[in-house]
Amino acid sequence: MATFSNILYQPEPETGILTITVNRPDKLNALNAATIQEIRVAVEQAQSDPTVRGIILTGSGEKSFVAGADIAELTQLDEAAARRVAEAGQVAFRLIEESRKPVIAAVNGFALGGGCELAMACHMRIAADNARFGQPEVNLGLIPGYGGTQRLTQLIGKGKALELLLTADMLKADEALRLGLANHVVPQAELLTFTRQLLTRILTKAPIAVGLCIDAVNAYFDKQRDGYQVEAEAFGQCFGSEDFQEGTSAFLEKRPAAFQGK
């Protein structure tokens, strides 16, 4: 198992829940290259661990999920190096997006710049009532580099996405909820409890079907794939699983299903 300096990796084999916490509180959990690499390694490690069935991604403390990129590090980059940093971030965040194990962001405070991009790469976002979302890169003469222009548009539509990208305005939690950027808003003190409860509900469902749902939804946004065909193939694949046999038997026998992810 990898060791980490900038994140906390906290698996719970008894529940199947892994919590990954960005842990740079003195920097408001800002993302530097090392932290992005650790997030990538952590997500890769989780995919190969059969005891991990779902992931909560959050930031340490109550002020910030991830306040953005590490600006001091960015100022040292030239054009070629900046492109490599962006590509590395996109690879790491795509691993989250394409994970067939559900990943829920618990957004505790500021999710700005790279932090907003990280949250958007997750399958769902639960926001504390003090959460703030935004892509303020134009204030620095930049644009988002980790997929923010693409995922923000997917989530809230072209017009509103452009407004936020071009003005650098921040969204409060209730506005993020209204626009569809957040799934739920809860009091700060209840954030992790609510997120765990939601993920626990998901983990009672058939793991193979959950993963195939994620893949089919992602296919809608992939220009190289036909989402309808992906859905049809996944539907057929379910019929070859033990989970399908268990789910249908449990339904007919009027009992809770005991899925094994096979």
Looking at residues 11-31, what average pLDDT do you find? 96
β-bridge partners, 21: 8, 58
Q: Which of 12, 73, 87, 137 is catalytic?
A: 137
Predicted pLDDT at 69: 87
Give this prediction's pTM. Answer: 0.96
Q: What are the structure tokens assigned to 241, written together?
A: 């699983």
Predicted pLDDT at 112: 98
Looking at residues 168-187, what average pLDDT do you find? 98
72 has pLDDT over 90: no
What is the rounded average pLDDT for all residues in the chain? 97
Question: What is the residue extent of each domain of the chain?
Answer: 7-202, 207-252
Predicted pLDDT at 83: 96
Q: How confident is the model at residue 211 (pLDDT cuts 50, 70, 90)?
A: very high
Indicate if 137 belongs to the active site.
yes
CATH ID of 7-202, from 3.30.70.580, 3.40.50.800, 3.40.50.300, 3.90.226.10: 3.90.226.10
Instruction: Using DSSP bridges, classify how beta strands 132-134 and 110-112 pair: parallel, antiparallel or unpaired.
Output: parallel
177 has pLDDT over 90: yes
Helix (H) or strand (E) holding 98: helix 79-98
2 has pLDDT over 90: no
50 has pLDDT over 90: yes
Tell me how far the alpha carbon of residue 70 is from its chain's centroid. Answer: 20
Q: pLDDT over 70 for what percent of the chain?
A: 100
Indicate if 175 belongs to the active site.
no
Q: pLDDT over 90 for what percent of the chain?
A: 96
Q: Which of 12, 44, 117, 253 is catalytic?
A: 117
Distance CA 4, CA 216 (A): 32
Looking at residues 172-195, what average pLDDT do you find? 98
Looking at residues 225-253, what average pLDDT do you find? 96
162 has pLDDT over 90: yes
Distance CA 46, CA 50 (A): 8
**Per-residue model confidence as pLDDT tens digits over 85-119:** 999 999 999 999 999 999 999 999 999 999 999 99
